[in-house]
Amino acid sequence: MSLIKEYPISIFNSLTKEKEVFEPLIKDKVGMYVCGPTVYSDVHLGNVRTFMSFDIVFRYLKYLGYAVRYVRNITDVGHLVGDADEGEDKIAKKARLEELEPMEVVQKYTNGFHAVMRMFNIQEPSIEPTATGHIIEQIEFIKTIIGNGYAYETDGSVYFDVRKYHQDHEYGKLSGRNIDDMLSNTRTLSGQDQKRDPLDFALWKRADAGHLMQWPSPWGNGFPGWHLECSVMSTKYLGTTFDIHAGGMDLKFPHHEAEIAQNQGCCSKGGARYWMHANMLTVEGRKMAKSEGNGFTPEQLLTGNHKLLERGYSAMTVRFFMLMSHYASTLDFSNESLQAAEKGYKRLMVALKLSEKLPEPGTGKMDKEQSKDFKAPIDKAFTDLSNDFNTAKAIASLFDMASKINIIYQDPKKAASIDPKDFDWSIMHFQGIIKDVLGLHDETQEEGGMQVLDGVMKMVMELRKQAKFSKDYALSDQIRDDLKAKGVQIKDEKDGGMSYTID
Ligand code: AMP
Ligand code: ZN
């Protein structure tokens, strides 16, 4: 049953700087676009935070009953070192340094990104388009912007004319920058510069013969500017006006500001109606970033193999740690807060397990007040989540529910006065919010499964050892081969022992 009407969502809209009631363009349907990664290096935990924040939005919208089309792109061309219009393409640079094809770099880090998303139980989007897969659409988009008078060509490159655009529209609205000041303060360009104004940004860049990634265009061989792909792919899959556009706070300017201008410049519509920005994961107050040397990878986090880590932490502990703060606040990484999160996560998992073993409700005289009181924390958790996806508050409400579950588990008589309808509703959504909205699952059960497997494998290896000892090589080989067929490799060690690995 749909909960859309019961728990109306409000979103802090970065465009209007106000919390607004969320009304999708089409009833009960949502189109959402999130800027994806530039796949030239391993993702770090900061990137994970941003994608997790919008995973919650995706999951919660679906949980309430919306049909969601979620588009999250892969940037595989056009993002230059330095994030502006000069310098080498990040992917081409990596390809040159590692002597790989650019598409090998793209594949390697796209695979890595997907593995990390799976590790943290971040769901796949509905569409994951790539910039290189939409070169034709990007060229068409540029042609329309030029036709509308908001872009110009110089020497094989095409630039967006910010000054011209700002005469008709408001450039800087999203990021809150005073563009009039910026335009009057910027240095005058010398005749050698290709841009008319330093604020102008590239829609298309001319490529020299040696440039690794280039395509033919009406302006000669080149490649698209970084901001363009998101305008093009969001409008292609979601329309010229759509519901939600999201990304990390650091993308507000120039990336998202440029996107809005491109959309207006091409289609006379600004694209998204609600803009959401996730705040940064910091380490000792500084943004986690590769360039800062404070960005550890998820693998390092699990193993504890990094100077910032006292020990390893599980993926679900990290997920819980991130959800303990609201997406719009900065989140500072520390070993203490991860250890606190680990305790909280385990407590919630205990309550989740108990919630499956509760006594029958409503066996005695039903009490309206008590039933209402039992429901209250879940009702509150929905209100928290509908209030700009406040996972921090929702987790506090879930802990209130966990206490109630604990009490009933200890004293089953207390379930007797609760209306079974309210009881079942509360337990169903307690489990649903934890598993489906927050995306938390019980790792201890998986660990338990691994322990059982390990015990069984030790037994099998012992049997094989005995077979070898009694010179029954046919049996020992058969055990080895059968296990291999099932994806388990047994290795004979020099000291006569055995070990195993799972493919
Ligand atoms: P990139 O691959 O650099 O384009 O980044 C992918 C996403 O991660 C973008 O939405 C960034 O805003 C986001 N991001 C980068 N660093 C951090 C950080 N320290 N905390 C949160 N999000 C980040
Ligand atoms: Zn983008």
pLDDT in 10s for each residue of the chain, 503 residues: 899 999 999 999 999 999 999 999 999 999 999 999 999 989 999 999 999 999 999 999 999 999 999 999 999 987 888 787 877 888 888 988 999 999 999 999 999 999 999 999 999 999 999 999 999 999 999 999 999 999 999 999 999 999 999 999 999 999 999 887 777 776 655 555 789 999 999 999 999 888 889 999 999 999 999 999 999 999 999 999 999 999 999 999 999 999 999 999 999 999 999 999 999 999 988 999 877 878 888 888 888 988 889 999 999 999 999 999 999 999 999 999 999 999 999 999 999 999 999 999 999 999 999 999 999 999 999 999 999 999 999 999 999 999 999 999 999 999 999 999 999 999 999 999 999 999 999 987 766 566 667 777 777 888 888 888 888 898 888 888 888 887 788 888 777 777 777 66
pLDDT of residue 85: 80
Taking the mean position of all CA atoms in its chain, how far away is CA 116? 10
**Rounded CA separation 340/135 (Å):** 47
User: In angstroms, what is the span from residue 172 Cα to ligand 2's centroid?
Assistant: 16
Which residue is closest in CA terms to ligand 1's atom 12? Answer: 248
CA nearest ligand 1 atom 7, residue: 47
d(CA 189, CA 359): 76
Ligand nearest to the CA of 283: 1
pLDDT for position 251: 96
**Are residues 298 and 348 in contact, defined by beta-carbon separation less than 8 angstroms?**
no
Q: Which residues contact 331 (CB under 8 A, 6 or more apart)?
A: 49, 279, 280, 281, 282, 322, 325
Cβ of 328 less than 6 Å from ligand 1: no
CA distances 318 to 208, 298, 352, 353, 454, Å, are: 45, 9, 18, 20, 26
Residue 306 Cα to ligand 1 middle (Å): 20
d(CA 74, CA 133): 10
Which of 287, 334, 340, 294 has its CA nearest to residue 310?
334
Give the residue, out of 38, 250, 332, with the most ligand 1 atoms within 8 A of its beta carbon, to mutate for a pocket test.
250
Q: State how far the alpha carbon of 17 is from the alpha carbons of 175, 191, 383, in Å.
A: 10, 39, 21
Compute the chain's Rg from CA coordinates.
Answer: 27
Q: Count other C-beta atoms under 10 Å from residue 252's C-beta.
A: 17
- Ligand 1 atom closest to 250 (CA): 12
Q: Which atom of ligand 1 is nearest to the CA of 288?
A: 19
> Which residues are in the CB-under-5-Å shell of ion ligand 2?
35, 230
Query: What distance in Å separates the CA atoms of residue 29 and residue 65, rounded to the nearest whole number?
Result: 9
| Stretch (H or E) spanning 282 | strand 281-283
Ligand 1 in contact with 43 (CB < 6 A)?
A: no
Cβ atoms of residues 19 and 12 within 8 Å = yes
Element (H, E) at 148: none
Which residue, judged by its Cα, is nearest atom 11 of ligand 1?
A: 248
Whole-structure pTM value = 0.88
SS3 category, 240: coil
Cα–Cα distance, 140 to 145 (Å, whole number): 9
Residues 420-453: b if buried by 16+ CB within 10 A, e if exposed: eebbebbbebbeebbeebbbbebeeeeeeeeeee
Ligand 1 neighbourhood includes 289 CB (under 6 angstroms): yes
- Residue 47 Cβ inside 6 Å of ligand 1? The answer reads yes
Q: Is the CB of 281 under 6 A from ligand 1?
A: yes
Q: What pLDDT is stored for residue 458 in this prediction? A: 78
Task: Check pocket membership of 251 for ligand 1, CB cut-off 6 A.
Answer: yes
Residue 193's pLDDT is what? 79
318 close to ligand 1 (CB < 6 Angstrom): no
